[in-house]
Amino acid sequence: MSITEVKALTTHKHFLTTQDWGWDELSSLIDHAMELKQHPIQPLLKHKSIALVFFNPSLRTRASFDIGASHLGAHAVVLEPGAGSWEMAFGEGEVMDGSAEEHAKEAARVLSRYCDIIAVRAFPKFKDWSVDRQDLVLHTFAKHATVPVINMETITHPCQELAHLMALREHFGTNDLRGKKYVLTWTYHPKPLNTAVANSAALIATRAGMDVTLLCPNEQYLLDERYMNHAAQNAQQTGGSFSVSHDIDSAYAEADVVYAKSWGAIPYFGNWEAEKPMRDQHKHFIVDERKMALTNNAAFSHCLPARRNIKATDAVMDSPNSLIIEEAENRLHVQKALMAAVAGTSN
């Protein structure tokens, strides 16, 4: 084992949230991702392996991690607990008399013997936010793994943050996004969705020093106070701002970036039938040409998947200012930089 490998194993650094990483570290990841975009095939992870543990479906995350690992010479193994690998339990002291056959404590330690990195996707259960906000699956893996753990989306989506930041830097042709007016807009969706990408957008846009407006129908759709507070603190530290608006036209006015996402109202977790009539009243939050015309020729983006003509119109999704495909492509590049960074093989 080389000194670099020993260092990676003994000082392994998880990537659970961008809040744990310094701005210089995040910027370096983007810089490396830019290089990898130009020169995609490099043996940075030759003979290494990564376990991709998916508790939920994926197109972009699964394909980009698997293919990205291959580009760098690593092997990726995809595991879907409960559908091809054993269903897992997570609770501390849990009496495992249900359907789970193994505990994440063993799974994390065993995978650590096989792999150099473990990546985990585990969405909320959408029944009790006070439970979901603990992010138990991710933190159990992080606690018991002896290799770096990457968050592939739980209650935040930090890999999406990196891809989004990279797409904005490319679009505006600068690493300095301070002073840009950034609108994170709630949009309608027929189902209540995860707040992860909205949390993440609020985090990374404020880390970048932008003037961020969270546009949502009413106070029921505010994000968890942890992320509202992080966003406000980030803005204070970077000289940007973080505010809430329920007024569509004033929020869009002169915006430089419009980022769209739908999410379920946190006070209604586990009581979604009661939330639905309220959500159904706000279909007009769709991103359309009229609203985009109010902006400063804003860039539009969304993490995907997105329902066309529900969250955003065809005209917006397909407009020259739409970064949706660039951002999705950037998942590949930023995750390659990230895997090399946590494995200690970036240089």
Residues that bind ligand CP (CB under 6 A): 58-61, 153, 160, 303-305
Q: How far apart are the first and last CA of the chain?
A: 17
Least distance to ligand CP from the beta carbon of 69, Å?
Answer: 15
Least distance to ligand CP from the beta carbon of 241, Å?
Answer: 27
Instruction: Give the residue with the Cβ less far from ligand CP, 241 or 330.
Output: 330
Least distance to ligand CP from the beta carbon of 98, Å?
Answer: 27
Residue 71 and residue 336 in contact, taking contact as beta carbons nearer than 8 Å = yes
Instruction: Tell whether the torsion through CA atoms of 217, 219, 224 and 226 is positive or negative.
Output: positive
Instruction: Give the residue with the Cβ less far from ligand CP, 132 or 153.
Output: 153
Q: Which residue has the tokens 């092997």?
A: 75
Q: How far apart are CA 210 and CA 165, in angstroms?
A: 11
Instruction: Give the residue with the Cβ less far from ligand CP, 57 or 82.
Output: 57
Instruction: Give the residue with the Cβ less far from ligand CP, 58 or 220.
Output: 58
Q: Give strand ranges (E) for 17-64.
A: 49-54
List phi, psi (to 5°) of 200: -65, -40
Instruction: Give the residue with the Cβ less far from ligand CP, 112 or 322.
Output: 322
Least distance to ligand CP from the beta carbon of 238, Å?
Answer: 25
Instruction: Give the residue with the Cβ less far from ligand CP, 57 or 267.
Output: 57
Least distance to ligand CP from the beta carbon of 288, Å?
Answer: 22
Number of neighbours of residue 122 by Cβ within 10 angstroms: 25
Instruction: Give the residue with the Cβ less far from ligand CP, 232 or 310.
Output: 310
Least distance to ligand CP from the beta carbon of 339, Å?
Answer: 16
Q: How far apart are CA 137 and CA 90, in angstroms?
A: 6
Beta pairing class for 149-151 and 181-186 = unpaired
Q: Give strand ranges (E) for the chain.
A: 49-54, 75-79, 88-89, 102-103, 117-121, 149-151, 181-186, 211-215, 241-245, 257-261, 299-301
Least distance to ligand CP from the beta carbon of 179, Å?
Answer: 27
- The residue type found at 43 is P
